[in-house]
Structures are given as structure tokens and as C-alpha cells.
Structure 1
């Protein structure tokens, strides 16, 4: 028995020894360079690419299975240069492969150059087809046999990696798009890693110099990776993806964060953000000209941060934070079903001043040329073919429920306090609500859109302005400094259609306004009127305590809109001694206006009127008319001749009636009174 065991041991030792000797001597007796033609032919048959191996091919079997190549070139379509490789080498340890472990020395790739060209017809030089096999080759071939794999063979232990490092250098990729006449180049590219082992973190760094039209940037991707192949988990920490213009002191745009990925069940979570950078400086370096802004430090600070997770079916971002200069916006976002596209979000922010990003105000702005402004203002809308205004298909599938609130919003010097926006959209119906405190009053607006009926969307809007102080509003509008009062207004309109002309023609609703407690603070118009009348009558005013302001007894009006025509018959601005009245219409469909305004002096009808400024009874409440009419871009205003004629005729009639009444007494006088009524 001992002899048998000894014989088997010697036999096994001999087999192992022969294997080692064969592995060591085989590369010496078999030169892989003899198979260049077979290798290039095999590549050509499978891909249609012509490969030339101009340098030596080296290989080894034991203890490392290794292969190295040098000076390899590949031709693309029309014999163009597609790729060039300086050298490549890889070595894998043989024995660990038997237990599905990959132990690899440094993987090196040097001097890889890819030259990609898309010609004027839109075809790339990499688009080649493998040659069709000849009939003889086809006849010699055999149908692939289907062999069943034993279940035990498929159930295998997970793959284990052990790679000393990866080193790729001298990578160059050029892309010439002859259709758009644009060229792109990636050069000086390299990839380096630490030791790649299962469940052990390793560093990686990918750098490249990128040239695109009118821009050259340096890019960097780096981080620390840990993976568990058996559990299907991958973790990237300290991820950084940056792009920096290739200029002196280039401003970097960097995406930073940590990402975790799990295969089963699928889960991706982590935090990603944009590190703080100077956006204005970056745009200037990449030659994007910004318009002048009121705040010279505008766009100097921008950053973003997010915490998110997704299982492929839903998406949750429980933290979203945007920092723009001094403005901060915080919120969250959720999609319960990515397939359905439903979205819920909520954002809150502090003070946002949009004026900082608008052109600075100038006191000596040049006035537009009068002739030019008249011509441009008189231009009528293009009568060309109209296009649909509302993207029905997109809005019909919209599923939204979101809100945003700010501490304040400043636009064109107007300050909106605690503004809020609420948006809801579902099943083809959308609603937007906007509310804000505004100069001691409030603004509330609601708009609705219904796109359920194809080709005929329906829209409605309403707005309510309550107790907005003109005195407070005079701060952003200095021209209102001489006015006081509280503005109250309301609007309700609705329309339907898809084109601008149809929407205008179908517009219906009403707009009303009123100013309560109205006062002119800089002048007493009642005194001015009385002084004028007294001067004409050559009499002295008795009153001396007129005061320096003028109170409105009424300032209000209502516009009724029917089929795109807004009409008004009750505009009134009433003072103690005179009234300004207005009536007319604005045709929004034809862009025409015809509006009448009239001034009348009340005289002795005014309360506590001074005898010196009382006018003749025949002129009391007589309206002296003015008319504006014509195209909205070219209005003509002047005396309303028609109404003035009617006014003069009325005055003459009153005078004639009075003369007759003075001469006729008794029953005849009463009869004439009835005649002139």
C-alpha cells in the first residue's frame, strides 16, 4: 500500500514538474509574433476593422498569464486613421484563476489615440461592417451545438478581484464633425488607481484637457471606491467632478458628494452638490458676456446641495438647497412614481432681490427718437400664420403639487412681502395661486387652465387687490408722492382657444377699481377752480382756510369685457367743485380705442361753496368733452366736436327756454316747461 501511495505521489510531482517546465519553456518555443496575420484577419472578419501590429508581441504563462503589445494601428472607413496604440500590457496570476480569483499586476495602457471623423454625409469613420462569409466558409461551418450546462456548473462562487493598479496615460481623442463644422479634442488624458480589491477602498483619478469650439477646459474626476461583488454593493466617497477653464486663475465648477449603489433590491442614495464658486467670473472666463447688473457683486456666490434616494420606481430628495449670493432656497422634492411622472415639492426662501440682477438705473438715459418710437408703436401685429400657444399634450400629462414661499421678493423696486405660489396639476387641469402682502395691503391671484378638450383649452383668472396704500407705494413710484388713499380692485376674466386671436376674441369678464380716502396732498384743486371762476367774475373769495390738499369724493370705475371688447361708462374722479367722467371702449380684437372724457364744474352745487366761485346755473354739470380714438399704437386725442356741439346746443336751448319763460306767465309757461323737458 505504501508503495502505491509513493508511486502516486511521485507521479503527481512529475506531472506538476512537467507542467511548470512546459509553462516556462512554451513561450520560448512558440513565438506569438508568428500569428500576427491570423490575429489581424480574425479582427477583420469579426468587425471589419483593419488592424496592424507593428511592434513586438510578448506573452507569458507561468506564474503570470501575461500579454503585451506595442505600436498597434487601426484603420477606419475609407482607409482613414481610426486608432493608434503606443503600448499595452496586462498580467494575470494563473493559479488563482482556478478559484475564480483575478490577481493582476498593474494594467498599463500608453499612447492611445482615437481619431473620429463624421463626414459631410453624416457617416463616421468608425462605422464599418464585417465582411460577409463566403459560401465555402459557410458550407464548412457547422451549426452550433446546444449543450446543456449542468446546474452545478452555473452555480459558482463570486468573482474576486486583486489588481495592483491601473495606469492609463497619453490618451487622445479627437472628433471632427464635418456636418456642423465643429471639432472637439480630449488630450493629456490619464487614469490612475490604487490597488483594486474587494471590500477595500481605493482611490482613482481621471484627468483630461478638453478643447471644444471657443473653449478649453481642464477636467478632473476623482474619488474613493469600495465595492462588494458578492453583495452587489458599490460606494463612492469624496466624489469630485470638476471643470476649469484653461486660463490664469481659472474658476472651477465642481460637483462633489457621496453615492451608494445596491443591486438587489436596487437602491441608489447619497448626497450630491455643487461647491461654491463665482458664476460671474466663470462666465466671463468662458467668454459669455453678462449684461450690466445693478449689484456689482451679483452672481459672485453660487452653490447647491442635495440628499436623494431612488429605487428606480420612485425618487425622493429630502434636502435641496440653493445658495445664490445672499439668497437661500431650501426644500424637498418627491416622485412617488417615475413612470407616471407625478411630482410633489415644497420650497422656502429668504429675501430675493431680482433688481440686483437687472441693469443699473441711469438718470441720463437717452430718450428714444420720437419718429422711430412713433413708427414702431404704430406697427400692427403680424397677420402671418398663427401657432398654438399652449402645449396641451405636455400639460395634459402633468401631475404636480407644489408650493414656494419667500420672506420677500423685490422686482423693479416693488417689494412683495411673504409672497407665495401654489401649483396643482392633475388630469388635464392646472391651478396656480399667488398671494402676497403688498404695501400695507394684499394681492391674491388665481389662474386656472383646463386642457382636457383637445384643441380648445379653457382659461380663467381672478385677482383681488385690497387696501394697497398709495402713500406707501410712492416710495418705489415717486410720481405718486402727491397722492394718498387705499386702492381696491378686482378682476375676473375667462376665455378659451389655442391661438392668440381666438383667445382675445373669446375674452369675457370684468375689471373694477376704487380708491378710498383719496387725497391730493400737494395742491388744492378746489381752490384753483374757485380762484379761476372768481377771477373771471371779478370777485373776491371769502374763504381763506382752503388747506393744501384736495380730497376725492369718489374715484372709481368698472370695465366690462365682452368678446374681446372692454367697455366702460362709469369712470369718475369727483372733487368738491368739479368732476372728471369717462366712458368708451377698447377693442382688443381690432386694437382700437374710442374713449370720451369730460370735465364739469359744479359751482354752487358744491357743499359750502364760496359765492365768488359760483357759476351760472346753465353751466352747472355741463361736461366739456375730450375724445381719444384710433389704433392702440397711434391714438389721436382732442376736443370731442360732436359732444361739444351737443353741449353748446343744450346751453342754447336752455337760454332760449329761459327767455321764453321770463316773458310768458301762467298756464302757457307751464306748457312750455313740459315741452322742453
Structure 2
């Protein structure tokens, strides 16, 4: 036992003597020039060690390095690329004998990194290591073996290196800072403070890591902190995380991200990870609060990222929204293929207040991004969603009327001028040239502009500046609509083509809902084929060309009673006053057909035809699409012996053609009897009227009625009466 104590005492004495000798005989500061020379040789930059290099012996042998600076070349805003006030590093000696590298706690204080790219594109990172690479290339060429067989033999007989184990007691980065500055773009990131710590670390073992950072990117101030456990695989070819937690915030003069949080249970390549996240803040005119969760997986080849069970719920408030407050929800599965640049959103459902959507979509990165989608909704009421329902519109109209009543003449003219300018402004269709979109939208029930449709199916595509509405099918007001359209944005002005077929639609409820227009009723069939140049309202009215074929059945025209006008014509021709009959001002018909031609700002027709058991109506005329004026003449004939509307017998006028003028404008059409045309088209009646006038004059004037001057005056009076 005594011998063992003597041996132990001797070993301690040897260690003490060795340390004393090391301190007395070896001054680490004498290596400063050598270290600076090697750094210069390998990087081309100067390393300046202003502080002392000191030995450290507890708890292991190591060095303490004082203030050190790694310089920038001339011409940069700061002298140093890297600078720190002190650094500590230690290594345990005894484990080295067993091929174990046990590094003590690594500490770096007040480190600062400055990276700059000047306006000429030169960076202070350029050229680092260039000298070392040149030396290595030269050494490789000089050391090329003369005998390849000898080299192969040496490689064959060389003993494989024994595996070393490495461990690290910890890493501590205290009060670090960094500046990344790009003078070409004006970008500036300034990390004012960064702290990082890592507990004992060794391959195959879990270590605790934590950080906190604050800084500024441009005008955006940010803070972040987080912690996690990490493990490096024993084979050093993989890593894992668990219990990851991250909290951040950011703000500038207009944006305020109060908090962003992320938590993950674990992360390992090839396995699923569960994460939760939330964000709260405000950007201009929009406040948001969102939270969600998902499962995440990254393939072992790092080529495929998958998200499963994504759930996101957001509360939004702000003037940029269609309504003051909105709730948005999303559930989906998603994936991203790195090699293909393809992001896929599968089996998604989203709820924006009362509007729900489901379907799938994809996005592929390319010079022109490729977007595909297939979306369905049970019900979309845009009027209610946008606040454009009847009550809202009435309130808006009342407000507008009040505003107009308080404006002066000058402001009214100015407003009119602005309106004209807006009607001439073309929509910006430049986005059509930057997208490749194709997809389908199906909506069970849809309402917009107060029009109600169902079973809507739309297929469209956008490519090379052309929007192609391949299909629009829907059911509306007892009938159906089928449409196709193209818009080509490649010219100086966009061009368009539209074909539309409407079958069996109840016209009056449709017109009432859309335009509050109730002057026409019936079952409508309409075929439209038009084209034009320019999508501004003024250009559409001026340049649209094509045809519109209408065929209405079993309807009525409200606001005019043609039978009543016929009775009025009959009474006029007899020199009598038409008997008043209280009945609705409408004209029933069994068929209403017309072919309308569009061109040069005018819609015209020459074959307007209305048929009913009582009447035959034919018309022609035009309406100006720019001024909205109307100029039509309608010829009405009694074709049947009937009691007619109102129960009055008009058999005496069976073959009478009555012309009716329709003039005015779209909002206030005016109907009137054209007496001049009436007499012109009914010669026998005109002669009968002349005879009645002559008979009246005979009774009134006696023999004087035969005087030529009296006859001439009577003829002028008669012509003036009917002209």
C-alpha cells in the first residue's frame, strides 16, 4: 500500500513539475507571428492578435486567446471581417491515448462579423483561401508519383485508420453581432446581439441547444429565441431534433408582427413530425391572428417534403377585406417535389365565413408558372359576402343620392369627366402573359349581381396571354345557359370573342333580379355571337360586333297596351273619343323573335316580330349603345276576330295596321301612336276620314263647302291634323 502511495505521489510530482516547466519554458505568445503567417499564407488576409495567449490547466489543458482581429482588404466600410474579445478552448490529454478527442467548453465572447458587397460587386469574402488552393494544386502536381504501381501498393498495404470518438463539453457564443451589407441593392441586415449555447455534445447523445437574437433587416426590427435538443448520428451522417420551440417578433413603421411561434415534437429525416404554429400581428389595414397544426415529413434524399393534416384558422380584420371582419379556415394535405419544383395541394377544404370550397390544386415553378386546379363549392352568395344584397344596395343608393344633392354644378361636371375617363380605361391584363393556368370550378348554387344560378360548371385556361373560357354551363330561372369565350391580350388592345346560348329561361324574374326591369316576360331562348376590340366599357359599346338572336314564347310586354292603342286609332279615324277601359298596360304575345345586329356602336334590327291570337307586330329600328337612345317603329295589325284585351270588340279594324313609335332611352322608353304613318299605311281609312270631314263641313257651311278655297283649307287642316 505504501508503495502505491509513493507511485501516486511521484506521478503527481511529475505532472506538477511538467506544468511548471511548460509555464517556465514555453510562452504561447511566441507563436503569434507564426499563426499570423500561416493565416496570411492560407487566406491572403492579416490576423492580428492584440491580446495574450494564456495556458489553462483546469479542468483540462487549453488556451485562452485575447482580443483578435481578422482584417478586411482596403476599401471596405469596416477594418475587420471578424473580431472577438476573447476565446477559450481546452482538450483533455489522457483520452487522446485511447483515440478519444474530448474538447472542453468552447467559449467566444463579443464576436463580430462584417460582410460587405460594394457597389462594384466586390465582396470582402472574395479571395479567401485562394492562395491555399494554389499551393495545394502546386503541391499535388509536384508530388505526383512516378510509379503508379508503387502508389497502388502503398495504398493496399496501408493500415486502415482507427476510429476516433469525439465529444464536446459545450459551446458558448456570448454577445455576438453581425452586419451583412449589400451596397448594390441597398439591403442591410444588422444582427445587434446573438447568444448561443450548447451543452455537452457527442455523436449518438442528445444535447440541449438554445439561442436568442435581435437585430434589424432594412427597416424591420426583429427578435427571436428558441431551444431544442439535438443529436448527431454516431456515423456523423445524420441528425435529429426534438422538443423544438421558436418564438419571434418583428416590426417596422407600418407592420407589426406581435408574435410568431413554432413548436415541433421531433424531426428526423424520413419520419413524420408533428408541429403547431401561430402568428398574430398587423400590416397596413389588416389585423390577423392565425393558428394551426400539421404533420411534416422530409424524404431521406431531401427531394420530397410532405404535409399531412394541415389545419389553419385565421381571424382577419381590416378595411382591405370585403367585409370588416372575416374568419378563414383551411384543411389540406400538401407536398413539394424539389426536383420538379412541383407543389401539390390535395384534398383541401377552405371556409371563408359562409363560403366553403373544396378540391385540389398544384403549382409548378417555371419561367411561366404552371397552375392547375379543380374546385367545388356547395353555395356561393357573392352579394351577401360583399355586402351587395338588396338592403345594402338601397342604402348605398340613398347615400349616393344625398351626396349628389349637395354637390354643385362644377363638381357634377368634374365627376362626369372622371366617369368618362374610367369608362375608357382598359383593364390590366399583363398577368395573362405570365401564367399557365388550367382548371375547373363547379358550384351547386351561385348568386352574383342578384342573379341566381345553379349547377355551375366552368372550365378555363390561361396561356401565352390568352384566356380561354372553354366551358360555362349553368341552370337559371327554369332554363339553362352555355357559353364559351376567349380574351387575347397580346395586341395593343385586347380582343374577345363570345358565344352564348340561353334556353328556356323565364325572362321577367331574371330581368327583375339583375336590372330591376319588368317590361318583358316570357320564356326566352337567346343565341349570342359577338366579338370586339378593347375591354373598357366605352370601347365595348363602340366596337362590339356580331348578332343576337332572340326567341321568346308565351310572354308579355309591360308598359304598353297595343289593343288599347288600336281602339284609340279606331276612334280617331271615326272622329270619336276612345272609350276608357281600366285594364293592365301590357301586351300579351305567343312568340317574340328578332335578329339583332351589333356594329359601330349601334344595335339594330329589321325583323322584330311578335305574334299573338289577336295581333301581329313587326318592327324595325335601332338603339345607340353609346348614348343609350332608342328609335324603333312597331307595326301592329289585328289579325283575328276577337274580343281582345279589355273585352272590346275591334273586328272593324281586323286589317288595320297601327304604327307605334318607341323612342326615349333605355331607362325611360316612350310609346306613342304615329298618326301620320297610320294614315299613310291605311289609304282607305284616310279616304274615309276625308269623306267624314267633307260631310261635316257640308253640314256646317252648306253650299259654301263646295267652294275651292274652303276645300283647300279643309285639306290643309286634315293633313295638319294627321301629320
Category of TM-score, reference length = shorter chain? 0.5 to 0.7
- Given candidates 250, 253, 278, the residue that maps to 1:210 is 250
Residue 276 of structure 1, CA deviation: 0.7
Aligned partner of 2:597 in structure 1 is: 560
> Quick one: distance in 2 between partners of 1:603 and 1:568?
23
Deviations 1:566-588 (A, max 9, x none): 5322345667568583422657x
| Closer/same/farther in 2, CA of residues 96 and 538 from structure 1, 3 Å limit | farther
TM-score, length-scaled by structure 1: 0.65
The answer (yes or no) to whether the contact 2:635–2:658 under 8 Å persists in 1 is: yes
> Quick one: distance in 2 between partners of 1:434 and 1:476?
20
| Closer/same/farther in 2, CA of residues 553 and 77 from structure 1, 3 Å limit | same
The answer (yes or no) to whether the contact 2:289–2:314 under 8 Å persists in 1 is: yes
Aligned partner of 1:277 in structure 2 is: 314
The answer (yes or no) to whether the contact 1:530–1:613 under 8 Å persists in 2 is: no
- Given candidates 197, 200, 223, the residue that maps to 2:264 is 223
- Given candidates 323, 327, 332, the residue that maps to 1:305 is 332
The answer (yes or no) to whether the contact 1:220–1:241 under 8 Å persists in 2 is: yes
- Given candidates 400, 408, 412, the residue that maps to 1:366 is 400
> Quick one: distance in 2 between partners of 1:557 and 1:411?
28
Deviations 1:157-211 (A, max 9, x none): 9999877777777677789999699942444433433243336542333433322
Aligned partner of 1:673 in structure 2 is: none
Instruction: Give the 5 Å matches for 1:376-525.
Output: 394=434, 398=436, 401-424=438-461, 430-448=468-486, 459-470=496-507, 472-473=509-510, 476=513, 479=516, 484-494=521-531, 508-519=545-556, 525=561
More displaced stretch, 336-345 vs 458-467:
336-345
More displaced stretch, 358-367 vs 68-77:
68-77
Deviations 1:80-119 (A, max 9, x none): 999987887777878999999987777777777789999x
Instruction: Give the 3-state SS of the residue equivalent to 1:144 in structure 2.
Output: helix
Instruction: Give the 5 Å matches for 1:166-185.
Output: 183-185=218-220
> Quick one: distance in 2 between partners of 1:466 and 1:216?
55
The answer (yes or no) to whether the contact 1:278–1:301 under 8 Å persists in 2 is: yes
Alignment of 1:329 with 2:357, yes or no, is yes
The answer (yes or no) to whether the contact 1:437–1:443 under 8 Å persists in 2 is: yes
> Quick one: distance in 1 between partners of 2:55 and 2:651?
120
Instruction: Give the 3-state SS of the residue equivalent to 2:383 in structure 1.
Output: helix
Unaligned runs of 5+ in 2: 1-10, 145-150, 189-216, 234-238, 695-723
More displaced stretch, 483-492 vs 329-338:
329-338
Alignment of 1:357 with 2:385, yes or no, is yes
Instruction: Give the 3-state SS of the residue equivalent to 1:366 in structure 2.
Output: helix
Alignment of 1:237 with 2:273, yes or no, is yes
More displaced stretch, 332-341 vs 406-415:
332-341
> Quick one: distance in 2 between partners of 1:51 and 1:30?
19
> Quick one: distance in 2 between partners of 1:57 and 1:252?
53
> Quick one: distance in 2 between partners of 1:117 and 1:440?
70
Alignment of 1:581 with 2:615, yes or no, is no
Residue 307 of structure 1, CA deviation: 2.5
The answer (yes or no) to whether the contact 1:354–1:410 under 8 Å persists in 2 is: yes
Deviations 1:591-618 (A, max 9, x none): 5777521255546867434896759969
TM-score, length-scaled by structure 2: 0.61
| Closer/same/farther in 2, CA of residues 237 and 513 from structure 1, 3 Å limit | same
> Quick one: distance in 2 between partners of 1:156 and 1:418?
74
Residue 278 of structure 1, CA deviation: 0.2
| Closer/same/farther in 2, CA of residues 492 and 193 from structure 1, 3 Å limit | same
The answer (yes or no) to whether the contact 1:85–1:111 under 8 Å persists in 2 is: yes
| Closer/same/farther in 2, CA of residues 478 and 341 from structure 1, 3 Å limit | closer
Instruction: Give the 5 Å matches for 1:609-624.
Output: 609=644, 614=650, 620-624=656-660
> Quick one: distance in 2 between partners of 1:340 and 1:89?
53
> Quick one: distance in 2 between partners of 1:23 and 1:278?
70
> Quick one: distance in 1 between partners of 2:331 and 2:109?
38
Aligned partner of 1:11 in structure 2 is: none
Instruction: Give the 5 Å matches for 1:239-278.
Output: 239-240=275-276, 242-245=278-281, 251-254=288-291, 256-264=293-301, 266-271=303-308, 273=310, 275-278=312-315
More displaced stretch, 99-108 vs 478-487:
99-108
Instruction: Give the 3-state SS of the residue equivalent to 1:213 in structure 2.
Output: coil
Alignment of 1:347 with 2:347, yes or no, is no
- Given candidates 320, 324, 327, the residue that maps to 1:290 is 320
Aligned partner of 1:144 in structure 2 is: 138
Bigger-Rg structure (1/2) = 2
> Quick one: distance in 2 between partners of 1:322 and 1:41?
62
> Quick one: distance in 2 between partners of 1:341 and 1:607?
69
| Closer/same/farther in 2, CA of residues 498 and 598 from structure 1, 3 Å limit | closer
> Quick one: distance in 2 between partners of 1:224 and 1:27?
54
The answer (yes or no) to whether the contact 1:313–1:338 under 8 Å persists in 2 is: no
Deviations 1:43-65 (A, max 9, x none): 899587x9988888778699687
| Closer/same/farther in 2, CA of residues 563 and 47 from structure 1, 3 Å limit | farther
| Closer/same/farther in 2, CA of residues 91 and 538 from structure 1, 3 Å limit | farther
The answer (yes or no) to whether the contact 1:420–1:436 under 8 Å persists in 2 is: yes
> Quick one: distance in 1 between partners of 2:51 and 2:101?
28
> Quick one: distance in 1 between partners of 2:641 and 2:167?
103
Residue 509 of structure 1, CA deviation: 3.1
Instruction: Give the 3-state SS of the residue equivalent to 2:657 in structure 1.
Output: coil
| Closer/same/farther in 2, CA of residues 458 and 483 from structure 1, 3 Å limit | closer
- The count of corresponding residues between Structure 1 and Structure 2 is 606
